[in-house]
Amino acid sequence: MNKKYTLYGAPLSLYTGKARAYLLYKNKPFEEVFSSLKIYKEIIIPNTGVRFIPVVKTPSGEYLQDTATIIEHMEAAHPERSIVPAGAKQKLVSYLFETWGDEWLVIPAMHYRWNKDNFPFIYQEFGKVVAPNMPAFIRAFMGKKIGAKFKGFVPMLGITQKSIPAIEDWYENHVLKCLDAHFAKHDYLLGDKPCTGDFGLMGPLYAHLYRDPEPGKLMKKIAPNVALWVERMNQAKDVEGEYLADDVIPETLLPILRRMFAEQWPVLKSIVSRVEAWSKQNPDTIELPRSIGEHEFTIGNITEKRAIGTFQQWKIQRILACYNEFDSTKKSDVDRLLNEVGGYEFMQISINNPVVRVNNKLRFKP
């Protein structure tokens, strides 16, 4: 039996950056296969039923899709060098940052990729998917056609002329500056080794915001410690550190947590209520579409509309499950932190229509 894992992904792919960094940290043998159109047709779609990367093939021949699922599977199979903190506060904060990276930092990631001067670099990158062995001018032509589809997702995320100034102010003057101050003191989010949250951040902060030319220059200029963290995350296999003692949450993360609960979590709460309403309107439908209309969100002082992403409910459920597994003593300690950062009410969300992933698609739990 092949003892290697296989990562099907692409350098330009946001979530591939998360999966790759995790596999490197776990220090398990793996090979990376570029997801060309041929690989999509012959391997990814037949074995997962969906068109999303990354996909990890296990040594036993199982195909895993979605980074949270990949990580959970590998943590169970290889508990050594765990990325899940034992402390209650650190464990919850780690999951919070994972979902913040996976679902909220996608906003600046997509804006800075498609609305800044990253061309022809991006067209070449997308062109490799369909024409990896063709001349550069053909790759650029094909990449521009494919890229137009991905650029079309930008308004669906609420990235518009109205919201762009607020998005840039949030990313440049809050996200990057707060993380830069944090990584000036700590190698990773919670101490001297990465946690689940670090890998959540790695997706957008590497593939789009470090690797793409224009946002990469910006990061290195105004947040050099974040750029150094990205580089550490891509070579963390020899890291042998520990999380901060006594379940401490660094003060440098508190401003991020406060704004996370002020801006992202009202959106997540709205998703839960909208999914429940949709299920009542479609009582005979088992499988959920990826999107079910629009709702409002706020960044800074700007309110805009964005698509309601149903998959985010599955991510919310994981966080609430983490919180609700704590006993009363641990929960009391966690609640003090949550009250300090404005998150307590959101951990009380009740989900009447939980969703599950079946064959990599979202369904209501029977």
Residue-wise DSSP of 131-152: -TTS-HHHHHHHHHHHHHHHHT
Q: What is the pTM of this model?
A: 0.95
Checking if the pLDDT of 2 tops 70, the result is: no
Q: What is the pLDDT of residues 238-253, one digit of tens each?
A: 888 999 999 999 999 9
Mean pLDDT of all residues belonging to the chain: 95
Structural domains of the chain sorted by starting position, each given as residue range(s) with its CATH number in brackets: 5-77 (3.40.30.10), 88-115+155-249 (1.20.1050.10), 116-153 (no CATH), 252-364 (no CATH)
Q: What angle do CA 49, 207, 103 make, to 5 degrees?
A: 65
Q: What is the pLDDT of residues 16-48, one digit of tens each?
A: 999 999 999 999 999 999 999 999 999 999 999
| CA 153 centroid distance within chain | 16
Cβ atoms of residues 219 and 210 within 8 Å? yes
Checking if the pLDDT of 1 tops 60, the result is: no
Tokens 């940290």, residue located: 25
Cβ atoms of residues 63 and 47 within 8 Å? yes
Provide the token pair at 247.
């379940």
Q: What is the pLDDT of residues 110-145, one digit of tens each?
A: 999 999 999 999 999 888 888 777 777 788 788 888
Q: What is the pLDDT of residues 257-306, one digit of tens each?
A: 999 999 999 999 999 999 999 999 998 888 899 999 999 999 999 999 99
Q: CA 241, CA 238: separation in Å to the nearest integer?
A: 9
Q: How do strand 361-364 and strand 302-309 relate by DSSP bridges?
A: unpaired
Instruction: Classify the C-alpha dihedral 257-320-57-124 as positive or negative.
Output: negative
Q: What is the pLDDT of residues 193-244, one digit of tens each?
A: 999 999 999 999 999 999 999 999 999 999 999 999 999 999 978 888 999 9
pLDDT at position 366 is 79
Helices marked H in the chain: 14-26, 37-39, 45-48, 67-77, 88-99, 106-114, 121-130, 136-151, 164-170, 176-183, 196-202, 213-222, 224-233, 254-259, 265-281, 311-324, 328-341
